[in-house]
Amino acid sequence: MESINKQTTHDNDEIDLLELAKTVWDKKRLLVSIVAVSAILGIFVALVMQNEYTAGSTFVPQTSEQGKVGGNLGGLASLAGINLGGLAGGSEIPPSLYPKIVSSVSFRKDLLNATFNIQGNSQPITYQYYYDSIYRPGLIPSISKYTVGLPGLLIKAIKGNKENSTSSNDFGLINVSETEFEHFKRLDKQVSIQFNEKEGFVSLSFSMPERLMSAQMAKFAEELLQKEVIEFKIQNAREQLKFTEERFEEKKVEFEEIQKKLASFRDRNQNLSSALVLNQLEKLEAEYNFAFNIYTELAKQLEQAKLQVSKDTPIFSIIQPVTIPIEKSAPKRPLIVIVFVFLGLILALGYIFGREFLIGVKEQWDTKG
């Protein structure tokens, strides 16, 4: 009995599959028509989409170990009578945090002011000026803007494009205007940075509508990122260097003054040997020796601080430099056409089977009625 039920179920499944295949075969013209229309639409979309070119670089951040000086540098400092062990190096920014730097407001503001050259302009222009005054979006973004994005445009038109006139310096805060915020959203899609934790290298890329622009923006982003990392790393050492330089200049002036005062006193009292003169001479010489010792020690500390800045400065080994791309990175037109064909096939099958299902339901209701 059980075997008979299984056989019946198997036969029903075969009948259902055959029925579905027959339904599709009967509606093959409709199926082909929908898929053809979808393919034509995909070809149209693929052709009207603007080209994108991506340029990038790959580099390895070579950071020094904190509190440890290299052999050659340490030996040279020891010969000069300088002890580098007393200086504490600045803290490191791990490469895993580089994406946070790139996505920060200050970094993106600097990208908006990046300058590059384009064909037809003799003078360099900024990224923000290019997208505000020169760039013209393609047909697809324009259609999307005035269809899907129409409610947002209407709301913005009603409210008005009010720029916040409050300066960031008024309260020590960074101000972002609505225009800048729109540029930020585009930048998030154009710039990409990835850290390969296993191999230890960083990959940075930038996408733009033209080859040369993408390469220039990628180079600017690379240099800006490395500058941010270096500034953070040597901040402590640079502050120590600035403080030492200020103290050194102060003591240098004091030393030169006491040096002139001692020389002048000796010139005026060459032939005098009274106790009062000798006492005053000894006092000036003691002041001179004291000022000289402080001046000499600060000079050593100044050289020590300069060496520390050099030691703390990270070095970036460029594995793959930024080059002008030859081939476009987007859009991938064959893939777009394939996706549209696949969607058209799904839509056609859904329409055919859905229509047959509704007809069957209607017939059942008519039979019951």
Q: Are residues 57 and 163 in the same domain?
A: yes
pLDDT digits (tens, 9 = 90+) for 50-75: 888 999 999 988 755 444 444 444 44
DSSP conformation class of 271:
S
Q: Compute the residue count for the chain.
A: 369
Q: Are residues 87 and 52 in the same domain?
A: yes
If pLDDT is split at 50, 70 and 90, which confidence band does 193 have?
very high
Long-range contacts of 303-306 (CB under 8 A, 24+ apart): 303/80, 303/82, 304/77, 304/82, 304/83, 304/84, 304/87, 305/87, 305/237, 305/240, 305/241, 305/244, 305/245, 306/241
Does 11 map to a domain? no
Q: Are residues 302 and 324 in the same domain?
A: no
Q: Are residues 77 and 213 in the same domain?
A: yes
Helix, strand, coil shares of the chain, percent, nearest 5, are 65, 10, 25
Mean pLDDT for 76-101 is: 60
Q: Are residues 80 and 208 in the same domain?
A: yes
What is the value of pTM for the model shown?
0.61
The identity of residue 249, as a single letter, is: E
Q: Are residues 135 and 253 in the same domain?
A: no
Does 354 map to a domain? no
Q: Are residues 257 and 221 in the same domain?
A: no
Does 123 map to a domain? yes
Q: Are residues 186 and 326 in the same domain?
A: yes
Domain residues for the domain of 280 are 239-311
Residue 368: is its pLDDT beyond 70? no
Compare 92 and 328 and report the one with higher pLDDT: 328
The 3-state DSSP class for residue 146 equals coil
Kindly state the percentage of the chain with pLDDT values over 70: 75
Does 32 map to a domain? no
- Please state the domain count of the chain: 2
Does 80 map to a domain? yes
Does 31 map to a domain? no
Q: Are residues 177 and 320 in the same domain?
A: yes
If pLDDT is split at 50, 70 and 90, which confidence band does 109 have?
very high
Q: Are residues 130 and 272 in the same domain?
A: no
Mean pLDDT for 213-230 is: 90
Q: Are residues 115 and 185 in the same domain?
A: yes
Does 121 map to a domain? yes
**217 within 8 A of 114, measured Cβ to Cβ:** yes
Q: Are residues 275 and 171 in the same domain?
A: no
